[in-house]
């Protein structure tokens, strides 16, 4: 039996890769405009990094990590997300000593042992961005503005931005207490998972999809009613800045995130086009994270976009594959040999040239030129070699341009 890929881990085939490259390229362009630089971290980290940052009682740490011991019995984990590794690198490389504000972005595979379905995979790809060193709500609005800019730049439709504030270590405990008391009175209506976690991670109950939990929490206390004055003021300013920047948003006080490091601003870019996997991108503030990982007390905020979800929404293969500039059709051995040299020379000079390698007839070669949607074709036979002249066929205009073989490159470059 032939070997297949691991469940939930997909190939990105050449027919789709252009869409991926388009999205990655746009992210680089847009993020660059906002002063972000790329950072690349390993795909494997010490397990402890994720337990300490994402939180021991989260779904990710409790059941979704690819964790294994290496040959020296170190517990390692395939990164389930990008923020914790970037923080680890930020601290380890003392990036704060280079600049009081770090704006970093990353893209690459992440791994979570989730039940695969449309938009949810075990290896998936994120494009993420993180800003370290700024507490000012202007940066929250700036990060959201960049996400909005990116989604416009790639032509993403039917998405909306939801924001919330989850408070801080000063006010969250009060909210937690109020929520636990509320849930306690409704325990029998909750699903077994929420009955188990309502004391360890009560906020997650608000996010549970089970109908019983949804009904039981309709009138649950709102986190926004429990914010301390500092958090309330911060959230008010974030909203005011978003309004000033004309970024559309809705406040969703029930939005909780699946990672424990968040404080204050949290957000999701959601769509109704992907069924239950409705978050295309998500993020928030994590002011205590760097310190909790042994670094200085430096605030941070960021987001990650799920690339597979973007590709699903954009439609795979919708970005047109780059077409060849020229297809060289050759007749006979001598012409094939010359066409090969000519093609290689053109390629070195930046012309996207193609030819046949399978010894096909002229008719079959022209069919292939059509299939590849070549911009120009050129037939090279004995006559052309003898006279040094040929006809360049413009496939878009359906006309022939007489050219000398010596002037082919010039002619092509002037017409492309």
121 binds ligand HAM (CB under 6 A): yes
* Residue 124 Cβ vs ligand HAM, minimum distance, rounded to whole Å: 3
Q: Following CA atoms 281, 284, 286, 287 in sequence, which dihedral angle do they give, to the nearest 10 degrees? A: 150
The Cα 192–Cα 201 span in angstroms is: 14
The Cα 170–Cα 176 span in angstroms is: 11
Compute the 3-state secondary structure of the chain and give helix, strand, coil in percent, each to the nearest 5: 40, 20, 35
Spatial neighbors of 185 by CB under 8 A, at least 6 apart, are none
Taking CB under 6 A as the binding criterion, the range among 111-119, 313-321, 379-387, 395-403 that sits at the site for ligand HAM is 111-119
82 binds ligand HAM (CB under 6 A): yes
Nearer to ligand HAM, 112 or 368 (CB): 112
Out of 55, 133, 284, 299, point to the residue binding ligand HAM (CB under 6 A): 284
* Residue 243 Cβ vs ligand HAM, minimum distance, rounded to whole Å: 23
- How many residues of this chain interact with ligand HAM, rule: CB under 6 A? 26
282 binds ligand HAM (CB under 6 A): yes
Residue ranges with strand state E in 112-251: 123-132, 159-165, 250-251
The Cα 411–Cα 229 span in angstroms is: 70
Out of 51, 87, 183, 281, point to the residue binding ligand HAM (CB under 6 A): 281
The Cα 370–Cα 91 span in angstroms is: 55
Out of 31, 50, 124, 150, point to the residue binding ligand HAM (CB under 6 A): 124
Nearest by Cα to 133 from 90, 104, 101, 103: 101
303 binds ligand HAM (CB under 6 A): yes
77 binds ligand HAM (CB under 6 A): no
The Cα 366–Cα 62 span in angstroms is: 58
Taking CB under 6 A as the binding criterion, the range among 121-129, 187-195, 312-320, 395-403 that sits at the site for ligand HAM is 121-129
Nearer to ligand HAM, 84 or 179 (CB): 84
83 binds ligand HAM (CB under 6 A): yes
* Residue 251 Cβ vs ligand HAM, minimum distance, rounded to whole Å: 18
The Cα 269–Cα 303 span in angstroms is: 10
* Residue 81 Cβ vs ligand HAM, minimum distance, rounded to whole Å: 3
Chain positions 241 to 270 lying near ligand HAM, rule: CB under 6 A, are 258-259
Instruction: Name the CA radius of gyration of the chain, rounded.
Output: 28
79 binds ligand HAM (CB under 6 A): no
The Cα 380–Cα 329 span in angstroms is: 6
* Residue 279 Cβ vs ligand HAM, minimum distance, rounded to whole Å: 4
CA-based max dimension of the chain? 94
112 binds ligand HAM (CB under 6 A): yes
Spatial neighbors of 192 by CB under 8 A, at least 6 apart, are none
* Residue 116 Cβ vs ligand HAM, minimum distance, rounded to whole Å: 8
The Cα 196–Cα 194 span in angstroms is: 5
Taking CB under 6 A as the binding criterion, the range among 75-83, 219-227, 322-330, 359-367 that sits at the site for ligand HAM is 75-83
Positions that interact with ligand HAM (CB under 6 A)? 81-83, 112, 114, 119-121, 124, 126, 128, 130, 258-259, 279-284, 302-304, 306, 308-309
């Amino acid at each position: 039996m032939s070997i297949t890929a691991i469940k939930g881990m997909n190939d990105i085939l050449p027919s789709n890769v252009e869409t991926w490259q388009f999205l990655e390229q746009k992210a680089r362009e847009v993020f660059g405009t906002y002063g972000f630089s790329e950072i690349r971290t390993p795909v494997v980290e010490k397990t402890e990094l994720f337990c300490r940052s994402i939180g021991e009682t989260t779904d990710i740490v409790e059941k979704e990590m690819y964790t294994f011991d290496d040959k020296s019995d170190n517990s390692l984990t395939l990164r389930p997300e990008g923020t914790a590794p970037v923080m680890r690198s930020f601290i380890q490389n003392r990036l704060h000593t280079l600049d009081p504000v770090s704006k970093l972005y990353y893209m690459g595979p992440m791994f979570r042992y989730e039940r695969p379905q449309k938009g949810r995979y075990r290896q998936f790809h994120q494009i993420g961005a993180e800003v370290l060193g700024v507490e000012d709500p202007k940066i929250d609005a700036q990060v959201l503005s960049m996400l909005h800019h990116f989604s416009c730049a790639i032509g993403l439709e039917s998405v909306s931005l939801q924001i919330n504030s989850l408070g801080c270590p000063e006010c969250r405990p009060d909210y937690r207490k109020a929520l636990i008391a509320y849930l306690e009175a409704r325990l029998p209506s909750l699903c077994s998972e929420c009955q188990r976690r309502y004391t360890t991670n009560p906020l997650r109950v608000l996010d549970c999809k089970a109908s019983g939990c949804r009904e039981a929490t309709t009138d649950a206390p709102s986190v926004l009613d429990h914010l301390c004055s500092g958090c309330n003021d911060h959230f008010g300013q974030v909203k005011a800045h978003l309004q000033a920047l004309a970024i559309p948003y809705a406040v969703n006080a029930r939005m909780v995130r699946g990672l424990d490091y968040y404080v204050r601003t949290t957000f999701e870019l959601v769509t109704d086009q992907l069924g239950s996997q409705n978050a295309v991108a998500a993020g928030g503030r994590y002011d205590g994270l760097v310190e909790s990982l042994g670094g200085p007390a430096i605030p941070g905020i960021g987001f990650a976009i799920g690339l597979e979800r973007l590709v699903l929404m954009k439609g795979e293969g919708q970005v047109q594959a780059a077409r060849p500039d020229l297809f060289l059709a050759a007749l006979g051995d001598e012409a094939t040999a010359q066409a090969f040299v000519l093609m290689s020379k053109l390629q070195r000079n930046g012309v996207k040239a193609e030819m046949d390698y399978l010894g096909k007839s002229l008719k079959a070669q022209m069919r292939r030129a059509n299939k590849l949607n070549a911009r120009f074709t050129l037939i090279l036979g004995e006559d052309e070699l003898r006279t040094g002249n040929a006809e360049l066929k413009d496939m878009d205009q359906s006309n022939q341009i007489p050219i000398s073989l010596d002037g082919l490159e010039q002619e092509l470059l002037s017409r492309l």
